[in-house]
Amino acid sequence: MAELLPLVIPLPAPAVRATLPAFCSAALNMWAWCGEPKPWTQESSKHCLDSTMRSTFIQILIVDWDIHHGQGIQYVFEDDPSILYFSWHRYEHAQFWPHLRDSDADVVGQGQGRGFTVNLPWNQVGMGNADYVAAFLHVLLPLAFEFDPELVLISAGFDSAIRDPEGQMQATPECFAHLTRLLQVLAGGRVCAVLEGGYHLESLSQSVCMMVQALLGDPTPPLSGPMVPCQSALESIQSVRAAQAPYWKSLQLQGATPRLSSGTHSLEGRPSTLLPAGLELKTAAAHAVSALSSLLDQLCLHPRSAVHTAAALTPLDAALVLPPDILHLEGSTQETQAWTRPHESLTQDQALTPLGQVLYLLDKILDGQVGSGIAATPAPTLNATLDVVIRRSLSHGTQRLFCVTMGQLDRPPDLANDGRSLWLHIGGKEATALSMFQVSMPLHGTTGGFLNCVLSLVLPLAYGYQPDLTLVVLGRTHGLQGPQPALLTALLQGPAGGRILVLVEEESTPKFAGVLAQVLHGEAPPSLGPFSVPFPEDMQALMYLRQQLEPQWKMLQVTAPS
Ligand SMILES: [Zn+2]
C-alpha cells in the first residue's frame, strides 16, 4: 500500500515561530510551508501558491478548520474563482479576535470571486462533533463537489479541538479523522494538510494522529457524543447557505432560506463544560489532561483488522483488475444450508455456493478479522441473499445495521422496526418513510441528484445512526453511473468505521466490482464529472423525506428551529 502512505514533512523552525505570536493564520503557514525566510505579506503568499501549484492545478480548495479566521488567505484570493476558500472560525458576533466584519457569513468574495469565499462563523463556543460534521455535509461538501477541485489543501489547525483554550470547542480528536475522510473523496484523493498548531498539547497530538491515520486509510473511530447539531450551529449553517445560494446550484435547488441576523448572542446552548472564567490556562490544561486521558486510552484500543479488504468473487470474475493485496476468500460457511430457509431459490446447488462464500466473508467481517469486503451474487437470488445476510448479522450481535440498497431490490418482509437495522433504498418509485428506520428515495441518476441524495439524506442518516456494520447492495437496473456507487461507498466508510460489506449482482460485477474494491481498499473514487442539475421530482422527494425524518434524525437539519 505504498501509494497510500502520506508524505509527512515537518515544518521548518521559522514556521513554528511564525505561528506563535499571531495565532495560526493560514497565510502565515502557507508562507512557512513554502520555506520562504521572510515576513509574510499577501503578495508573498499569493506568489507562493502561484509558483508552487498553479502550474499543475487549476482549481484548488482550501479548507481552513483552524479556529481562527484566515483573513489573510481570504484577502489574497477573494477575487479569484479558481480558489475556493472555506473557513470556519470562532466569531461570537465579532466579539472574538480578529473582530472583523469580513469574517461573517455574508462576506462571499469580490468580483469574479464572489461565492468562492465561504465563511462559517461560530457564534458560540462549545461546537462539537455533530456541528462540525453537519457543516461539512450541508455547507462545504455540496460546494466542493460542484467546484470539483484538483487539489485540497487543509489549513490544519487543531485549536478547534476539545480542551484547546483558544478555541474552547468540544470536537474530539476522532472527529478530525472523519473530516479528513470526507475530504479524501475530492480531487482524486489529492489532499495536503498543513499543520498550523493548537494550544493543548495532548488534544493537538491526538487530533494530528487521527488525521494522519485517516490519510493512511485506517478505519475511523466512532464519534462520541450525541449527533445533534446545536441551535447556534444551525443558525450559522443556515446563514452561510443563504449567503452562498446565489452562486451555487446545489444550494439553490435545496431552497436555502435566509435567516435574519439578530446581531445578538443566542441564549440557547448546550451545558457548558468549558474553562471556568478567570482560571489560569495552565491550571485548566492540567485539569483537562485527566479528563482527556480516558479518551486517549479509548483511541489507543481501537481495533484494527488483520486484513483490510477481502473479496468473494466467482472464477468468472477473476479477470477483474483488483488491488494486488486484496485477499481472495474462497471458503464457505459450514451451516450455509441452514440459513437458506425460507428461501426456496437458495436451496439450488448453483445458489448455495455463492451464498456460502458471502456468509464466509460476512463472518470474517463480523469477527473483526477483515475490515471490509465485496461479494458477487446471482441476480435472481440477491434479495434472498440479502435477507440472510441481515438475519445472520443481527444474530451475531450487530446492534446497528445500516443497509443501503440500489436498483431492483425489495425490503425483506420480516425486517424488524426495532432500531437494530436502518433500511434505505435508493431508486424506489416514490419517497416513503414507513418509519425512521425504513426509508425509500427515488433517484434518476444525474450527478446533482445523486450528490443531493448522498449528502443531504444518506450521510446525515449514517452519521446520526453510527452503524457498526454497513451493507451496500447494488441490484439490477440501478441506473447509476460507474463512479456513483464508488463515491457512496467511499463516503460511508467514515460513519461505518470501515466495516462495509458490498454485495453486487453478477451482471454488474464486471463494471462495478473493480472500482468498488479499490474504494474499499482506500483509493479515492473516480470523479463524478460535471455537475448536472437534479430532476425536480428528485428534489421534491428529498425535501419531503427530510421534512418527515428531521424530527428523529437531527443531522438532516439545515435550518435552525425558530
Ligand atoms: Zn488558530
**Residues counted in the chain:** 562
How many CB atoms neighbour CB 283 within 10 A?
11
| Ligand 1 centroid distance, CA of 246 (Å) | 30
| Ligand 1 centroid distance, CA of 86 (Å) | 14
| Ligand 1 centroid distance, CA of 18 (Å) | 12
Q: Which amino acid is at 52?
A: T
SS3 343: coil
| Ligand 1 centroid distance, CA of 119 (Å) | 15
| Ligand 1 centroid distance, CA of 294 (Å) | 26
How far apart, in Å, are the Cα atoms of 62 and each of 69, 212, 243?
A: 13, 18, 19
- Report, in angstroms and rounded to the nearest whole number, the Rg of the chain calculated over CA atoms: 24
| Ligand 1 centroid distance, CA of 157 (Å) | 6
| Ligand 1 centroid distance, CA of 33 (Å) | 16
Q: Which helix (H) or strand (E) holds 234?
A: helix 231-244
| Ligand 1 centroid distance, CA of 438 (Å) | 42
| Ligand 1 centroid distance, CA of 4 (Å) | 29
| Ligand 1 centroid distance, CA of 29 (Å) | 11
Cα–Cα nearest to 70, from 136, 165, 157: 157
Distance between CA atoms of residues 101 and 39, nearest Å: 25
| Ligand 1 centroid distance, CA of 19 (Å) | 9
| Ligand 1 centroid distance, CA of 207 (Å) | 14
β-pairing verdict for 432-435 and 327-328: unpaired
| Ligand 1 centroid distance, CA of 68 (Å) | 4
| Ligand 1 centroid distance, CA of 195 (Å) | 11
| Ligand 1 centroid distance, CA of 67 (Å) | 5
Secondary structure of 288-328 as H, E, C letters: HHHHHHHHHHHHHCCCCCCEEEEEECCHHHHHCCCCCCCEE
Exposed e or buried b per residue across 80-114, where buried means at least 16 C-beta atoms within 10 angstroms of its C-beta:
bbbbbbbbbbbbbbbebbbebeebbbebbbeeebe
| Ligand 1 centroid distance, CA of 175 (Å) | 17
How far apart, in Å, are the Cα atoms of 406 and each of 353, 472, 503, 517?
A: 24, 8, 11, 17
Q: Residue 367: which residues within 8 A CB-CB, separation 6 or more? A: none
| Ligand 1 centroid distance, CA of 20 (Å) | 10
pLDDT of 55: 61
| Ligand 1 centroid distance, CA of 550 (Å) | 33
The angle subtended at Cα 360 by Cα 356 and Cα 362, nearest 5°, is 115
Cα–Cα nearest to 503, from 293, 311, 269: 311
| Ligand 1 centroid distance, CA of 63 (Å) | 13
| Ligand 1 centroid distance, CA of 158 (Å) | 7
| Ligand 1 centroid distance, CA of 216 (Å) | 25
Angle at which helices 281-300 and 201-216 pack, to 10 degrees? 30
* Entry pTM: 0.86
Copy the grid coordinates of residue 249. Answer: 446550484
| Ligand 1 centroid distance, CA of 165 (Å) | 11
SS3 500: strand
pLDDT of 132: 98
| Ligand 1 centroid distance, CA of 48 (Å) | 21
State the burial class of residue 267 (Cβ atoms within 10 Å of its Cβ: 0-12, 13-18, 19+).
exposed
| Ligand 1 centroid distance, CA of 69 (Å) | 8
Exposed e or buried b per residue across 248-259, where buried means at least 16 C-beta atoms within 10 angstroms of its C-beta:
bebbebbebeeb
| Ligand 1 centroid distance, CA of 460 (Å) | 28
| Ligand 1 centroid distance, CA of 428 (Å) | 46
Say if residues 305 and 368 touch (Cβ distance below 8 Å).
Answer: yes
| Ligand 1 centroid distance, CA of 196 (Å) | 7
Q: Which amino acid is at 95?
A: Q
First-last CA distance in the chain: 50
Q: Residue 360: which residues within 8 A CB-CB, separation 6 or more? A: 312, 329, 331, 332, 333
Which domains are seen in the chain, by residue range? 11-41+53-258+280-300 (3.40.800.20), 307-554 (3.40.800.20)
How many CB atoms neighbour CB 395 within 10 A?
10
| Ligand 1 centroid distance, CA of 221 (Å) | 25
Task: Please give the full DSSP string across 104-169, using - where no structure is assigned.
Answer: STT---SGGGTTSEEEEEE-SS---HHHHHHHIIIIIHHHHHHH--SEEEEEEE-TTBBT-TTT-B
Cα–Cα nearest to 129, from 295, 305, 372: 295
| Ligand 1 centroid distance, CA of 500 (Å) | 36
pLDDT in tens, the chain (562 residues): 333 445 665 544 333 333 333 445 443 344 333 333 334 455 655 665 665 566 666 899 999 999 999 999 999 999 999 999 999 999 999 999 999 999 999 999 999 999 999 999 999 999 999 999 999 999 999 999 999 999 999 999 999 999 999 999 999 999 999 999 999 999 999 999 999 989 999 999 999 999 999 999 999 999 988 999 999 999 999 999 999 999 999 898 776 565 544 433 333 333 333 333 344 444 544 554 455 555 555 554 456 778 889 888 865 555 677 777 888 888 777 777 777 777 777 777 777 888 889 999 999 999 999 999 999 998 888 999 999 999 999 999 999 999 999 988 888 888 889 999 999 999 888 899 999 999 999 988 788 999 999 999 999 999 999 999 999 999 887 888 879 999 999 999 999 998 999 999 988 888 888 899 999 999 999 998 888 888 888 899 999 999 999 999 999 999 998 8
